[in-house]
Structure 1
Amino acid sequence: MMRLACCTALLFVLRLLVGLPWYQVLPAILIFYLGSGGWNFLDIVAKTIGRDLHAAYVLLRVKLNVKRHVREKNTIPKIFAETVQRHGDKTALIFEGTGERWTFRQLDEYSNRVANLLLDRGFKEGDVVALFMENRSQYVGLWLGMAKIGVEAALINFNLRLEALVHCVTISNAKAVVFGSELAEAVSEVHSSMRKAVLMFCSGDYDPKQVPQGTECLETLLTGASSRLPKRPQRCFTDRLFYIYTSGTTGMPKAAIVVHSRYYRMAALVYYGFRMTSDDVLYDCLPLYHSAGNIVGVGQCLIHGMTVVIRKKFSASRFWDDCVKYNCTIVQYIGEICRYLLNQPVRDTERQHRVRMALGNGLRQSIWEEFMKRFNIPQIAEFYGATECNCSLGNFGNKVGACGFNSQILPFIYPIRLVRVDEETMELIRGPDGVCIPCKPGEPGQLVGKIIQNDPLRRFDGYVNQSATSKKIANSVFKKGDSAYLSGAEGKAGMAAIADPSQSTDLETFFKDMEKVLPPYARPVFLRFLPEVNKTGTFKFQKTELRRDGFNPTAVSDRLFFLDSSRGRYVQLDEELYRSIVSGKHKL
């Protein structure tokens, strides 16, 4: 009976997702069953069938919705219009900074004013406007208004300064910059380096003495703009929506292309995968210039009618107070946010909230259960992916320590795979046939996703820079002649190895200069000073041995320094500090 039930379930799922008739599907299941260990396979089925069927349902639901949106040539603004019809007077956004609440209808009208203002100023479909401001409700209304007339927003990290800031505006080919008054100084520093034709608009507390000459007050202009829906452009579901920049820890940031279908895909897979509802209230303390805050978070508002609480910046001390105040049921996290919360003193509000789910990525397994228990969070909705990737994963089963899964009984339904790589060079390892070698269970490797460009769920849109796009694509991965996205690693900078034979580096000056040009995440946590930097026979920097050495002062004879963020300077790394860092007592 068990075998019959499992095969019947598999047959049903395959018919729905693949579209094949039963007489073509059934032999495939039997061959797969017999070739995979018989009863061992049934044991796997018994343990994973519930999880995998839910994932199959999610994929089917999203796929059917995507087909409709493609057929009807929908866009995110069009989908948002449907949301406004359903939830017009419901609260869409709450900005924690002021407590201001916007209904869906108010957000719609504000974005219409943005669209009509830009139309009056001569902006047209395909133009780009850079958005450089801290979190607030207006941020969402600005890029949404641009999208209503086919203008694409370049969402620039508000931590960037000088050369990196100019670079991001320039590569997007932006015709205007909308910046927050809180960033007026940063814009003034680089205004002379930008193209003369770039228009400047200031949002917030406008002071003509503090902004570049010629800058206009955005709020004044919007007051006089029409709040009626402008004529929609001829855009479709796979056209460009906006640009999100990579972190740029190993060079200048790259502008990743986000099309309407990608925005929908990322928000919808999370919504259905983790069983969210429109009645949830989501607490979003992540930056809106990135996909976690602006797509995974705000996307639940625009697409599914959820109320989203926006916070200017993450605050560990105010986190649970906010959740209680606004009756939040879902909170977002990323990276070390959960550890920062655990490091806070115990307070009553941390267990007086209504939060049922923590949604994000980067929660360490070592604190996973402690986080759930202390703050009484029933579900950790951990996922894995990147803005531009086509191979996202989700921990739909609430399994401790997992960022997702790939089905062993339906591996062909979701074409992603872990493949073997050379751990020293990170190059793909291929078999005699030239195709990549899949990893065995428990074996480390690189995640790849098969690219199917005419499928909105599997396409890869890449970056504005075509050469950067090419570097993310590998050929003959699943089979000969195919192509796949390579999921690389970007994030907080680790160690910088510096050749300093005379030991003359002034660390105080070094840190001050670095502060001016690099955002916090791009500043190296450790410094290693070498008499010279070793190179390979082809004159490439030899990084493998440096990575292997790590930062243990007992194992490395070179001078090592650690960035103590609490003191704002580099300090000598000794054995005591090393032990404190490794044990987790000292924050990185």
Structure 2
Amino acid sequence: MADHEVSFVVVRVLKFVFRAIALPIVLLVRLMTILCGGWFQSLDDRHKIKDDWYIATYFLLAVPRYMWSVYRGKFQFWYTFERHVKNSGSLSCISYPRPLNRKGDFDLESYTYRETYDIVLRLSYVLYHEYGVREGHTVAIDYANKPMFIFLWFALWNIGAIPSFLNYNSVGTPLVHSIRIANVRAVFIDPQVGAALKETETTITKELPQVKLHYMNEETVYETIMNPNSPQFLQEVEKRSPPFATDFQAACLIYTSGTTGLPKSAIMSWRKAVIGCTLFGHILRIKKNSTVFTAMPLYHSTAALLGVCAVFSQGGCVAISNKFSASSFWKQASLTKSTHIQYVGEICRYLLHTPVSEYETKHCVKIAYGNGLRADIWQDFKNRFGINVIGEFYASTEAPFATTTFQRGDPGIGACRSYGTFISKILSIQQTIVKVDPDDESQVYRNTKGFCEVAPVGVPGEMLMKIFLPKKPEATFQGYLGNKKATKSKVLRDVFRKGDAWYRSGDLLKSDDQNLWYFVDRMGDTFRWKSENVSAAEVEDQIMAFANDKISAVVVVGISVPKHEGRAGFAVLELAPQARNFSGDVNFLNEMLSTLRKSLPKYALPTFIKFVEEIEHTGNHKIMKKNYKNQVLPHGVGGDDILYWLKNGAEYKPLTNADWIDITSGTAKL
């Protein structure tokens, strides 16, 4: 019997056994609902029995099926994609409102699963025979949001290569570092966003001469891959899925900033891409007739994994915007007939600040999911745009697990984890919030026995996720490619008992008496601004590299700005004694800005700057970052601080009261 026939039989047997057990329970639940009426509804309101049942029943079927795919050696997402091509080939797979001009006009492109599959096979032939891409190669994609990104991505998966998603904002040293640590063989570049790479090309060629840079001529490539007569390439299973492969190996590489100062290449395992995204898609009610619209960059895990992979795992359609535009967001969602949208908190606030559009009432969107939606605008967002459900989740690029909500009505506003009693009990084995050191929130608290303690209800603590094989942590948490130190730093050992191991999220969360969890803040030196993670250490290093003869110390933190999501970069400069005359020198700051632009992406440039005679330290010589994180704008607690701000993103100017009014009213954009 062939492998696919055995697989079919096993899955059918699993379904039969599962339904034989599940059907009586379903009938019992429905009977209780009819007979007990309000009593059962009250019970369900408290314990979310129906929601837990919806998740648990799917989980109990999906996991055995996935384990069978691992046993067969066909656990890669490519086979999930092929299954939908075979079973639902005529359904929409990709929708793309291609921008025609700056007026907000679009030409809607659409590709079915079968069309996408054939295009990918033709592109695979081009990559294999014309560009020499082979199985096992790591190949970078430096691309804007468009179908070609997904075509390249899946063609690499077909060949058996590992895609590496470059952040097209990255430039200079961080970009070279990103290519180097992943051992990238070639980079496929979209001319639309290739300026940063072009600017760094000389350095790449000098330091990494083996890396081939391919600027894609999309018109020529499209002529080939859209031609049904062009040859196709389908990789042999033994090469795409070698016998020695494991499901915790890299499916793709996605870059994340951290406290080390340079980007880290997070390993996205097949396990996360397949089983994690499949469960996520089910929880967010993505179906075969669903279309999920995303304006998030595909080089991020939010759009790549929780967008494309989660949608394709359910046989749905992903609609991608070339780039986020608040003014045309709902027009694109309407054109693509999207049922879901992805967000980050900043997007929701931007949309609320736009003038009323005819399209915000014409769309089909009922579910919005993402992270960072603040409680203060949660209901306003739902009410204005007619959203029924918010699927706020907690996840990070490298995290082994995620938390989710499916928030309807009023209960659970602001939560990033909301399950019923049953699933919460199960997850308590795998997810927890522990106390942090009150004097240093970047460190967990340990009691007299040397162990951590669960944070009390309402008290912020660090979220931890259990690593089930402490002696083989890579099976649960793959970490960062080529960076053992950073990977090791994310694993906390001897947490509740000797020998256990947990993944450190680096984020503060808190719980309430209903066992709902809420995101509080990021820990340590990384903060989030404009939907991007900013490494404070990287910014500090670049400032010191520019003026280490004039600046004796620098501290960079993220600070809260009213009516803005995330935290804006705030650089505190301690001038060297011989350079005290530079205090308040705007020319000096703008010379520094000119240099920083060459090495930092726009979102990492400090938004606010302050000169000080001496940076504050604790008694054990640690910088008192907490004090700077709590900087009062615009002029400090006493009203006599002089700050400078990056006005209109163009140059540093003294921050005046009039400027502050413009910032807080939304007239001036940070």
Q: What TM-score do you get using the length of structure 1 for normalisation?
A: 0.84
Equivalent runs, 1:163-202 vs 2, <5 Å: 163-194=173-204, 195-202=208-215
Q: Match for 1:134: what amino acid? A: A
Query: Equivalent residue of 1:186, what SS?
Result: helix
Is 1:60 paired with 2:65? no
| Structure 1 runs (4+) greater than 6 angstroms displaced | 42-45, 220-225, 454-458
Deviations along 1:305-342, one digit per CA (max 9) or x if unpaired, are 11111111011111111122121111111130011111
Equivalent runs, 1:268-287 vs 2, <5 Å: 268-287=278-297
Deviations along 1:510-568, one digit per CA (max 9) or x if unpaired, are 3333333222222222212212334456654332332234445141644212333x353
Query: Equivalent residue of 1:96, what SS?
Result: strand
**Contact between 2:252 and 2:267, CA under 8 Å: does it hold in 1?**
yes
Query: Equivalent residue of 1:308, what SS?
Result: strand
Q: Would the alpha carbon gap of residues 58 and 335 (structure 1) be closer, same or farther in structure 2, given more than 3 Å must change? A: farther
Counterpart in 2 of 1:435? 451
**Contact between 1:453 and 1:460, CA under 8 Å: does it hold in 2?**
no
Unaligned runs of 5+ in 2: 1-17, 19-41, 99-106, 507-521, 535-557, 559-569
Q: Would the alpha carbon gap of residues 330 and 411 (structure 1) be closer, same or farther in structure 2, given more than 3 Å must change? A: closer
Query: Equivalent residue of 1:140, what SS?
Result: helix
Deviations along 1:152-184, one digit per CA (max 9) or x if unpaired, are 111001111122211111111101111112234
Deviations along 1:236-267, one digit per CA (max 9) or x if unpaired, are 43321110001458721111001111112442
Q: Which residue of 414, 427, 434 corresponds with 1:401?
A: 414
Cα distance in 1 for partners of 2:626, 2:343 equals: 32
Cα distance in 2 for partners of 1:297, 1:142 equals: 17
Superposed CA RMSD in Å reads 2.9
Counterpart in 2 of 1:388? 398
Is 1:462 paired with 2:479? yes
Cα distance in 1 for partners of 2:654, 2:44 equals: 52
Cα distance in 2 for partners of 1:134, 1:275 equals: 28
Counterpart in 2 of 1:226? 231
Deviations along 1:55-85, one digit per CA (max 9) or x if unpaired, are 4445434433432332232211111110110
Query: Equivalent residue of 1:237, what SS?
Result: coil
Q: Match for 1:442: what amino acid? A: G
Q: Would the alpha carbon gap of residues 132 and 551 (structure 1) be closer, same or farther in structure 2, given more than 3 Å must change? A: same
Counterpart in 1 of 2:104? none
Cα distance in 2 for partners of 1:312, 1:363 equals: 22
Q: Match for 1:498: what amino acid? A: L
Unaligned runs of 5+ in 1: 1-15, 17-41, 207-216
Q: Match for 2:250: what amino acid? A: R
Q: Which residue of 540, 564, 574 corresponds with 1:499?
A: 574
Q: Match for 1:405: what amino acid? A: S
**Contact between 2:97 and 2:336, CA under 8 Å: does it hold in 1?**
no
Equivalent runs, 1:85-104 vs 2, <5 Å: 85-97=86-98, 98-104=107-113
Q: Which moved more, 1:525-534 or 1:477-486?
A: 525-534
Q: Would the alpha carbon gap of residues 357 and 45 (structure 1) be closer, same or farther in structure 2, given more than 3 Å must change? A: closer
Counterpart in 2 of 1:23? none
Q: Which moved more, 1:87-96 or 1:548-557?
A: 548-557
Is 1:514 paired with 2:582? no
Query: Equivalent residue of 2:192, what SS?
Result: helix
Cα distance in 2 for partners of 1:117, 1:419 equals: 51
Is 1:152 paired with 2:162? yes
Deviations along 1:42-66, one digit per CA (max 9) or x if unpaired, are 9899444444444444543443343
Counterpart in 2 of 1:317? 327
Q: Match for 1:547: what amino acid? A: K
Q: Would the alpha carbon gap of residues 51 and 156 (structure 1) be closer, same or farther in structure 2, given more than 3 Å must change? A: same
Cα distance in 2 for partners of 1:563, 1:90 equals: 48
Structure with the bigger percentage of strand: 2
**Contact between 2:248 and 2:475, CA under 8 Å: does it hold in 1?**
no
Cα distance in 1 for partners of 2:361, 2:153 equals: 36
Alignment length (residue pairs): 537
**Contact between 1:359 and 1:382, CA under 8 Å: does it hold in 2?**
yes
Query: Equivalent residue of 1:99, what SS?
Result: strand
**Contact between 2:389 and 2:406, CA under 8 Å: does it hold in 1?**
no
**Contact between 1:75 and 1:236, CA under 8 Å: does it hold in 2?**
no
